[in-house]
Amino acid sequence: MTTAPALPELALSRRVFVVALGGAVGGLVLGLRIAPAGAEGQPDSPFAPIHFVKVGKDGVVTIVCSRSEMGQGIRSSLPFVLADELGADFARISIVQGDADARYGDQNTDGSHSVRDFYETMRVAGATARSMLVSAAAARWGVPAERLIVHDHAVHDPATGKKAGFGELAEAAAALPVPDPKSVKLRPDAELVKSKGRLPLVDGPAFVTGKAHYGADTQLPGMLTAVVLRPPVVGGRVKSVDDSKALAVSGVRKVVRLPDWTAPAKFQPLGGVAVVADHTWAAIQGRKALVVEWENGPNASYDSDSYRQSLRAAVNAPGTVIRQVGDVDAALAGAAKVVSAEYHLAHLVHTPMEPPAAVAKVGAKSCEVWAPTQDPQTAQKELATALGLDPSQVTVHVTFLGGGFGRKSKPDFILEAALLSRAVGAPVRVQWTREDDIRHGYYHATGAYRIDAGLDAQQKLVAWRQRVAAPSIGSTFDLKSDRLSGWELQTLNDLPLTAPAVRLESCQAPAHVRIGWMRSVYDINHCFAAQSFIGELAAATGRDPKAVLLDVLGPARTLTAQEVGMKELMNAPKGYTPDVGRLRHVIERVAELSDWDAARRAGKAVGIAGYRGFLTYVAAVVAVSYDAKKQVRIDDVWLVADPGQVANADRVRSQLEGAVVFGLSLALYGKITAKNGAIEQANFDSYPLLRIFEAPRTHIELVASQAPHAGAGEPGVPPVAPALGNAIFALTGRRLREMPFATAMNARA
């Protein structure tokens, strides 16, 4: 691992250009000019460059982080890729959070692709700055640049022992031309700090002292605080309001009706009535005193119990064919044995620890917001549209996110703050309570599955028919969308199956709440069904679940569209062809790490699952036992991931540790239900999350890999629940086909 990876051409030479910026700015300032997708290959294109790194005369290296920090540690990753390549002293790095700005390229922090998209760019930007500092030193000393080296924030000449700090060289470097990116050499990986030890958690000190600035922490002169009473049913409208008691609450300034809602949901606020007050407590008290009559609208009959039955009916009839290989019905009819099962999951909701909150200051021709947003450019665009402004008049400052998980990709709460600021003529902070967050979310989709598998007389898989019914995220944007399609099938689009006959069908499931993406998205559902079912195949044939899993996936190979039975592979950008060998490896490795075979021989209850999602390969083993009260206790979780190369191994590990907890929370407790169109849960008593005393010992291993960077934030979650379900089966003999598990796993027969 001593050679630098070859620069992928597409990452840099066609889309990203490093340019000099500045002049009289007191140092070397490099910008990036990032062509929007589709406008590649035009170095003279009109896209204005934007500042990414500055080496100041004072030696401080300022690096912009254009992606949102929500716990994944991106500020401790991407800027340090640049700093590491540059040879900077990490103590002299200052990180600036980028506002919404299309010149940064994509800022939508979701889908686990920040590092994948920006790693090479950061390396090259760092190497470019380094090369210019080296040229400046070479000119000053009259020596060849090739013999100079850079480390510890200085250029060194090993032949003479001379050294010059970045600060002393910055102005001279700024006067030099920016080298052609193709001539810039990257450091060998072995030279990088990230290869030798842990990168710093740059925001740690701010986090532990209360200084980190989140969505609700902005305080402006004259700022008012609003809480909103939203329609209990999505699409509902205010019929009448009596605000006299609310206005009588001390500290309440105004009551404002928000615009009514029109389908489809998109990112618009839900409407309702806002109480605007001097501070949060008055606003909350004022809201309690509102008397509102609602017109509940077309979703008023949404009922999770009956919807569950309709999903079940849907998967018991044919749906839209997504994948097809061979004749699955004939293969099932001719099988020696058919195994069938149905699965169900409830809706889930994100519940980041920081409920949505945002501050807006709207003027006649301006809007400035401070918001914990995962997608600042979408917020900017939506604000401009809602306020009738040009996007250039809208400034979006990105605060720390107290968790995002997909909730904070949706700017509805930011729009509320802006509409209210305009309505009252003052800066407004909108504060969602936990009840607001749980009752008015963009919900993770409930879903149902039916899987039928055929086995031949030798117990070999000969047919796999899988049907899924779940409301689509597409429905939030397009009323015609009534089932999963395209990317929403996620890992099912290329689940490797050795069966010669395979069919995947997507069945009807109209949406009645706002459906949104949540960490790992539909893979939570898909992986639960498929991996639980593989456990069922093992039980039906009396075989080792790990062996059956490997047999179902088949031998090491790369997948083709033809093999999976689709026109094209969905999860296979260039360089990321699905590789069953890598998937088998994480499964085999997690089995070794958890001592799978010995544990089973010793009668311990273990469950396994393995999966590819977000271009990463992950396998999990969960071990459970009975506690003293004969309740199921989760003892250990082992997770092995192959995400390719990693920018910051410690942050990848912490994401996977967190994924275990996230996965266990939803597996044990995750259940959002609707009755008469309204969500029944409200706070952490009715929507529990895993607590520290339930958190198992967690063992994480990353596969050392030179494959290109893949996702880290999301892929750890999906295998956890099915591995737990499989372990519970091993312990109790009870197959749990419905999440959450908490009640059923301890039920007495």
Partner 1 sequence: MAKLKLHVNGVDHAIEADPDMPLLWALRDLLGLTGTKFGCGEALCGACTVHLDGMAVRSCQTPVSAAAKQKITTIEGLSAHGDHPLQKAWCDLGVPQCGYCQPGQIMSAAALLSAKPKPTDTEIDTALGGNICRCGCYQRIREAVHVAAGQSPKGGAR
CA 57, 58, 60, 63 dihedral sign is: negative
Question: Site mask, partner 1, residues 696-725, x = CB under 8 A?
Answer: -xx---------------------------
Sheet holding 149-151, edge to edge: 149-151, 154-157, 162-165
Query: Strand, coil or helix: what is 170?
Result: helix
Beta strands, E only, 405-507: 428-431, 447-455, 461-469, 501-507
CB 70 within 8 A of CB 64: no
Name which of 201 and 423 has its Cβ closer to partner 1: 201
Tell me which of 158, 204, 259, 363 binds partner 1, using CB under 8 A. 204
Return the range that interacts with partner 1 (CB under 8 A); candidates 10-18, 134-142, 209-217, 299-307. 209-217
Q: Does 6 bind partner 1 (CB under 8 A)?
A: no
Name which of 257 and 434 has its Cβ closer to partner 1: 434
Q: How far is it, in rounded angstroms, from Cα 106 to Cα 108?
A: 6
Render 294-330 in DSSP notation, one character per residue.
Answer: EE-GGGTT--HHHHHHHHHHHHTS--EEEEEES-HHH
Rg of the Cα atoms in the chain: 27
Tell me which of 159, 291, 321, 353 binds partner 1, using CB under 8 A. 353
Query: Strand, coil or helix: what is 103?
Result: helix
Count CB-CB contacts under 10 A for residue 190.
11
Return the range that interacts with partner 1 (CB under 8 A); candidates 139-147, 276-284, 442-450, 483-491. 276-284
Residue 411 Cβ vs partner 1, minimum distance, rounded to whole Å? 19
Q: Does 452 bind partner 1 (CB under 8 A)?
A: no
Tell me which of 147, 182, 185, 211 binds partner 1, using CB under 8 A. 211
Query: Strand, coil or helix: what is 50?
Result: strand
Query: Strand, coil or helix: what is 95?
Result: strand
Q: How far is it, in rounded angstroms, from Cα 163 to Cα 409?
A: 47
Q: Does 657 bind partner 1 (CB under 8 A)?
A: yes
Q: How far is it, in rounded angstroms, from Cα 741 to Cα 722?
A: 11
Tell me which of 4, 212, 339, 384 binds partner 1, using CB under 8 A. 212
Residue tagged 């896209």 (tokens) = 47
CB 311 within 8 A of CB 509: yes
Beta strands, E only, 44-159: 50-56, 61-65, 93-97, 149-151, 154-157
Q: Which alpha helices (H) appear in 142-176, and where do they start and end?
A: 166-174
Tell me which of 405, 449, 522, 533 binds partner 1, using CB under 8 A. 405
Return the range that interacts with partner 1 (CB under 8 A); candidates 18-26, 217-225, 232-240, 309-317. 217-225
Question: Site mask, partner 1, residues 616-655, x = CB under 8 A?
Answer: ----------------------------------xx--xx
CA 510, 511, 517, 523 dihedral sign is: negative
Tell me which of 6, 46, 146, 209 binds partner 1, using CB under 8 A. 209
Tell me which of 434, 460, 557, 600 binds partner 1, using CB under 8 A. 434
Render 218-261 in DSSP notation, one character per residue.
Answer: ---TT-EEEEEE--SSTT-EEEEEE-HHHHTSTTEEEEEEEPPP
Tell me which of 401, 445, 587, 707 binds partner 1, using CB under 8 A. 401
Name which of 4 and 695 has its Cβ closer to partner 1: 695
Residue 226 Cβ vs partner 1, minimum distance, rounded to whole Å? 13
Name which of 286 and 578 has its Cβ closer to partner 1: 286
Tell me which of 214, 263, 266, 385 binds partner 1, using CB under 8 A. 214
Residue 204 Cβ vs partner 1, minimum distance, rounded to whole Å? 4
Name which of 374 and 532 has its Cβ closer to partner 1: 374
Angstrom distances, CA of residue 1 to CA of 81, 571, 650: 17, 27, 19
Q: Does 662 bind partner 1 (CB under 8 A)?
A: yes
Residue 636 Cβ vs partner 1, minimum distance, rounded to whole Å? 11
Strand 461-469, strand 501-507: pairing:
parallel
Tell me which of 147, 182, 185, 198 binds partner 1, using CB under 8 A. 198
Tell me which of 39, 48, 175, 206 binds partner 1, using CB under 8 A. 206
Tell me which of 661, 707, 727, 731 binds partner 1, using CB under 8 A. 661
**Number of residues this chain uses to bind partner 1 (CB under 8 A):** 68
Tell me which of 34, 690, 707, 739 binds partner 1, using CB under 8 A. 690
Tell me which of 659, 668, 728, 730 binds partner 1, using CB under 8 A. 659
Question: Site mask, partner 1, residues 18-57, x = CB under 8 A?
Answer: ----------------------------------------
Angstrom distances, CA of residue 115 to CA of 127, 592, 703: 17, 29, 17
Tell me which of 540, 689, 742, 744 binds partner 1, using CB under 8 A. 689
Tell me which of 84, 99, 110, 354 binds partner 1, using CB under 8 A. 354
Q: Does 110 bind partner 1 (CB under 8 A)?
A: no
Phi, psi values for residue 679, rounded to 5°: -75, 135
CB 360 within 8 A of CB 417: yes
Name which of 349 and 418 has its Cβ closer to partner 1: 349
Name which of 27 and 404 has its Cβ closer to partner 1: 404
Short-list 634, 647, 645, 654, CA closest to 741: 634
Dihedral class, residue 7 (left if φ above 0, else alpha if ψ from -120 to 50, else beta): beta
Q: Does 494 bind partner 1 (CB under 8 A)?
A: no
Return the range that interacts with partner 1 (CB under 8 A); candidates 91-99, 185-193, 589-597, 695-703. 695-703
Return the range that interacts with partner 1 (CB under 8 A); candidates 48-56, 84-92, 400-408, 621-629. 400-408
Residue 663 Cβ vs partner 1, minimum distance, rounded to whole Å? 9
- What residues pair up with 237 in beta bridges, in sequence order? 295
Burial class (CB in 10 A: 0-12, 13-18, 19+), 338: middle
One-letter-per-residue 3-state SS of 256-274: EEECCCCCCCCCCCCCEEE
CB 458 within 8 A of CB 250: no
Burial class (CB in 10 A: 0-12, 13-18, 19+), 692: exposed
Residue 239 Cβ vs partner 1, minimum distance, rounded to whole Å? 28
Tell me which of 195, 459, 683, 746 binds partner 1, using CB under 8 A. 683
Give contact residues for partner 1 (rule: CB under 8 A).
69-73, 198, 201, 203-214, 216-217, 219, 225, 250-251, 279-282, 284-285, 351-355, 400-405, 431, 433-435, 650-651, 654-655, 657-662, 665, 683-685, 689-693, 695, 697-698
